[in-house]
A and B are shown apart, each in its own frame.
Chain A
Amino acid sequence: MIPYKYIFKKSIAFLVVLYGAITLNFLLPRLLPGNPAEIVYLAIIKEGGGSINPIYVHQLESEYGISNAPMYLQYFQYLNDLLHGNLGVSIAFFPEPVSSILAGALPWTLYLVISSIAISFFIGNRLGRYAGINRNTFKDLFVDLFSMFMASFPAFVLAFIMLDIFSVNSGIFPLGGAYSSNVNIGFNLPFIISAAYYSFLPILTIILTSIGGWVLGMRNNIIPNVNSDFITFSQNLGLRKEQINRIAYRNAILPNLTGFSMSIGLSVSGVIIEESIFSYPGVGLYMITAIGSLDYPLLQGIFLMVIISVLVGNLIVDILYGFFDPRIKQEGE
Chain B
Amino acid sequence: MNRSLFKNSTVNGISFKFNKIIKPLKILLTNNKAKVGFIILTGMMVFGVLGQFLAPYNPNRYEFVRSMPPSYSHLLGTTVYGQDVFSQLFYGAAPTLLVGFSVGIIGTFISIFVGISAGFASERVNNIVTGIINIFLIIPGVLLIMLFGSYFLGIHQSLGYLPTILILVITGWAFGARTFRSITLSIAKRDFILSSMLIGESRLSIIFRQIIRAIFPVIISNFFFTAMYGTMGLTFVEYLGVGNLLQVNWGTMLYWAINNEAYLTGLWWWILPPSFMISILMFSFILLNFGMDEIGNPSLRRFNSKKNKKGDLNEHTEN
Binding site for B on A (CB under 8 A): 13, 16-17, 20-21, 28-29, 32-34, 36, 39, 135-136, 148-149, 151-154, 156-157, 160-161, 163-164, 168, 216, 220, 223-224, 226-227, 232, 262, 264-266, 268-270, 272-273, 287-288, 290-292, 294, 296, 299-300, 302-303, 306-307, 310-311, 314
Contacts and interface: CB of A to CB of B under 8 A. Distances in A.
B290 A265 contact: no
A220 B298 CA distance: 11
Chain A interface mostly helix, strand, loop or mixed?
A: helix
Most buried by A among B300, B305, B310: B300
Contact of B146 (A20, A21, A287): A287
B69 to A, nearest CB: 17
A268 B140 contact: yes
Contact of B275 (A21, A154, A216): A154
Most chain B CB inside 10 Å of its own CB: which residue of A33, A148, A226: A148
A196 B302 CA distance: 42
Nearest to B242: A291
A149 B283 contact: yes
Contacts of A292: 241
A16 B263 contact: no
Contact of A291 (B138, B150, B278, B297): B150
Interface residues of B, number: 54
A15 B113 CA distance: 27
Interface in B273-298: 275, 278-283, 285-287, 290, 293, 297
Contact of A307 (B139, B150, B239, B287): B139
Contact of B300 (A32, A148, A154, A223): A223
Interface centre among A16, A148, A157 (most CB of B within 10 A): A157
Contacts of A161: 263
Contact of A265 (B138, B154, B240, B312): B138
B236 A34 contact: no
A148 B143 contact: no
Interface string B242-280: 100000000000100010000110000001000100111
Contact of B302 (A136, A154, A163): A136
Given A148-B290, A152-B283, A269-B236, 13 more contacts: A148-B286, A152-B281, A216-B290, A220-B300, A223-B300, A224-B300, A227-B313, A264-B138, A265-B138, A268-B140, A288-B240, A307-B138, A307-B139
Nearest to B131: A13
Contacts of B235: 154, 156
16 contacts: A21-B139, A152-B285, A153-B282, A160-B258, A168-B263, A220-B293, A227-B311, A227-B312, A264-B138, A268-B142, A269-B142, A272-B140, A273-B236, A288-B240, A300-B147, A303-B147
Given A136-B305, A148-B286, A269-B143, A157 B154 contact: no
